[in-house]
Amino acid sequence: MTVVHARSMLVHVDVILITLDQFRGDCLSAAGHPLARTPNLDRLAAEGVRFARHYSQAAPCSPGRASLYTGTYQMNHRVVGNGAPLDRRLDNVAWAARRAGYVPTLFGYTDQAVDPREATGPEDPRLLTWEGILPGFEVGLKFATHDPGVWVRWLRDLGYEVPDDYEGAVGGEPGRPAEHSLSAWHTDGLIDWIDAQAGPRFAHLSQLRPHPPYAAAGHYAELYAPEDMPAPIAMGETRHRLHDSLRRSVLRAPDDPAEMAKIQAQYFGMVHEVDAQLGRLWKALEHRGLWDDTLIIVTADHGEQLGDHGLIQKGGFFEASYHIPCIIRDPRRPKAHGTVVERFTENVDILPTLCEAMGLPVPAQCDGLPLTPFLAGEDPPWWREAAHWEFDWRGAAIPLGPHQWPWDRRLERQNLAVRRDETTAYVQFGDGSALCFDLEADPTWRTPVTDPAVILAKAQGMLAWRHQHLDRTLTGLLVQDGGVGRWPDGVQAG
């Protein structure tokens, strides 16, 4: 048995992975949104490939990003909420980039809590916050909501009076010019870093916006009029008890339509501003002759309810919390540029796609599939028939403990999984209850399916999905004749 060491080869493409926090999948003018203006994302779509039905696998931030970074579903990575640690056994996008010869560098945040087995004890400062850095990344610029100090100090050096807290600092953006926004600061830092690197480059730009507080930077705060805002999807007449529970939390949308319209207007302003910052990055790459040497991926960690079903922010089971944008421009594969993919794609597909783009094998842990065939204008040999996501809310109950293991299993029932296909959305709850929505008759998720035969078929589809994505680390190998089958990552017969 020999250990396969990291590659030293240089890959002939720079990589920029961009996440936009809490960005709804429908908020692209290229996707036909009646209000949102996103000319720079539209340009990337026109010169790349846009995945129209792309989904995050979990919410809120930490679980969604864990799926993105590791290529695994929540049922496998087990980051069940903000604050749940990321298991050190898992491979991730940063380690993959290092194997390919890059020094992956972060501008922003990754929201991944340290595995406590890596900590030195309760006094380890890494155990004070879940806003840790994904292992493998170098840090170019770091932003954290628990400590926005670096950006705040930069603003104070410019002469602004800025409070120390995150809500106050970011919430004050309408009163400052957009060139001094958090999104601009991140973009400036990335452009400066690009200038300082000889290559190959791998950067992760993690923009906070359009995440709350709902306060757009500078003139973008006035760009959209509240009176022009469309009415959100109303709540259904009957609701699952989780829906009502979320309505009793910070996720409750304002009951006053005028207040909700103000939130919408600020959200679209934030979308517009972060798009403008991407435009600055595109121009910088062009000016430096790097546009056609850089693989760009833009996606989000999760979506935003924006008043739909009486909810804001993210969580629960409705589609708006999980439908997100995905645009990829690979300059080496121009054949498919300008195309729109209507297949169901997921954030767990990003790591496999990057691995193939960097000349690496796809790790066995990955639940996702490479998007490479679509980028090449080809059909893959097999593709999924539905999108899947999960939501776990045990984080609200853990501090209320103790929960006497192994007899108290309440935490294990506080979760759900969704399978959304062409016509139906099936929601299975950990307590045994379920919902099924007829999306063909009503795409707003307010019309239940009542036919038991249809519901059974959808439940069986979810069960098969879970069966097919059990951990496979050692399952492809038989210990006989020196080892037969697929060896675990990093080890091979010899």
Residues identified as active-site: 61
Note whether 115 and 193 are within 8 A (CB).
Answer: no
In angstroms, the CA 182 to CA 197 distance is 23
In angstroms, the CA 370 to CA 357 distance is 9
In angstroms, the CA 223 to CA 257 distance is 19
User: What stretch of H or E contains 459?
Assistant: helix 452-468
**Mapping DSSP to helix (H, G, I), strand (E, B) and coil, where does residue 448 land?**
strand
In sequence order, the β-bridge partners of residue 388 are 419
What are the two backbone dihedrals, phi and then psi, of residue 468, each rounded to the nearest 5 degrees?
-80, -5
In angstroms, the CA 244 to CA 237 distance is 12
Positive or negative, the Cα torsion across 19, 104, 102, 361?
A: negative
| DSSP collapsed to 3 states, 165-233 | CHHHHHHCHHHCCHHHCHHHHHHHHHHHHHHHCCCCCEEEEEECCCCCCCCCCHHHHHCCCHHHCCCCC
Q: Given phi > 0 = left and psi -120 to 50 = alpha, else beta, which region is 103?
A: beta
